[in-house]
Amino acid sequence: MPKINVYLPDDLADAVRDTGIAVSAVCQRALEQAVRRVTAIRATNLADLDADQLAAQLPHLTARTRDVLLRARTQARSAHAAEVGTRHLLAALLDEGDNLGVRVLQTIEVLSAQVTARLAAVVTMSESAPTSAPVPTLRFTGTGASALELAVTEATALGHNYVGCEHLLLGLVAEPDGTAGRVLRESGVELRATRRAVVAALAGYAHLRAQAATTSDGGVTAPAGTDPLAAVAALVRRELAPVTRRLEQLERRVGASAE
């Protein structure tokens, strides 16, 4: 059986040794799930899929994420593109407007409108050659597929059994060669800080759900006077505060050295 090395941070490696976890079995299971998800993404032909068919083909994606993919298909067709690229995925993510990815951008003080404008203004070679002929298949570009694969990786690394728009945002930021990643990074979206914001936002939503009052139909409502988005944003900013302070300290040191 082939051997694959897995590198872990020192603290995690120590914890694994202390608990005696069967690393091989855990890694095999996680890799099996990731391979299935990535294979499904690469095989996806968006040309004629409706929402139900896409749900059957990519069940690990949340409903909002699947909606973003269908919106990206529309973006690609409007641009007469032969494939769905990262720019279409980012435009669709922003266009959907009410997903956690967009809300995370708000909490790290990156305006969706500014990213949209920057994306529209980017003058680069197209990720896929324009075409006026009908496209029998509409698959992802190399960078588009890579961004989705990275989204799967982010979800797996966070221990999530689904791929949401927040993971898609992380995948787009992490993908090094696509238009979307470049636009996001130029807009001030940094991968580690965004990942931390995602974790804090999810924790914030979980906290709000725990604090929510149960309604008569079994649903939940936020406590009276609570703005859910503002509450989550406050939690995210609190989690990011140490990072912000550290960056400010480094900037002051660099400024002092320059003087």
DSSP secondary structure string for all residues of 180-208: HHHHHHHTT--HHHHHHHHHHHHHHHHHH
Domain span at 235: 192-259
As a whole number, mean pLDDT of residues 123-141 equals: 61
The total number of structural domains that make up the chain: 2
Instruction: Say whether pLDDT at 88 is over 60.
Output: yes
218, 149 Cβ separation under 8 angstroms: no
CA separation for the pair 242, 169 (Å, rounded): 23
Same domain assignment for residues 35 and 83: yes
Q: Give yes or no: residues 46 and 162 share one domain.
A: yes
d(CA 118, CA 95): 14
How much is the pLDDT for 218? 46
In this predicted model, what pLDDT tens digit does every residue of 5-36 receive, in sequence order? 777 777 778 888 888 888 788 778 777 777 77
Cα torsion angle, 36, 23, 147, 143, sign:
negative
**Residue where a domain terminates, one of 189, 220, 248:** 189
Indicate whether 219 belongs to any domain: yes
Measured in degrees and rounded to the nearest 5, phi and psi for residue 188 equal: 95, 15
Same-domain check for residues 152 and 164:
yes
> Does 177 lie in the same domain as 126?
yes
Positive or negative torsion for Cα 196, 199, 200, 201: positive
Q: Are 250 and 122 contained in the same domain?
A: no
- The span from the CA of 164 to the CA of 152, in Å, is 9
Amino acid at 112: S
Is 5 within the bounds of a domain?
no
The widest CA-to-CA distance across the chain, in whole angstroms, is 65
Domain shared by 85 and 175, yes or no: yes
Q: Which of 189, 215, 237 is the last residue of a domain?
A: 189
User: Distance from first CA to last CA of the chain, Å, rounded?
Assistant: 59
pLDDT at 187 over 60: yes
Q: How far is CA 101 from CA 29, 178, 184, in A?
A: 27, 18, 12
**CATH code at position 111:** 1.10.1780.10
Does a structural domain hold residue 156?
yes
Percent of the chain with pLDDT over 90: 32
* pLDDT confidence band for 214 (50 / 70 / 90): very low
My answer on whether 199 and 153 are in the same domain is: no
CA distance 44 to 41: 5
On whether both 91 and 47 belong to a single domain, the answer is yes
Residue 152 sits in the same domain as residue 221: no
pLDDT(125) > 60: no
Q: Give the range among 131-140, 190-199, 227-236 with minimum mean pLDDT.
A: 227-236
pLDDT band at 219 (very low <50, low <70, confident <90, very high): very low
Q: Are residues 124 and 165 in the same domain?
A: yes
Cα separations in angstroms, 47 against 91, 137, 144, 169, 217: 18, 5, 15, 23, 39
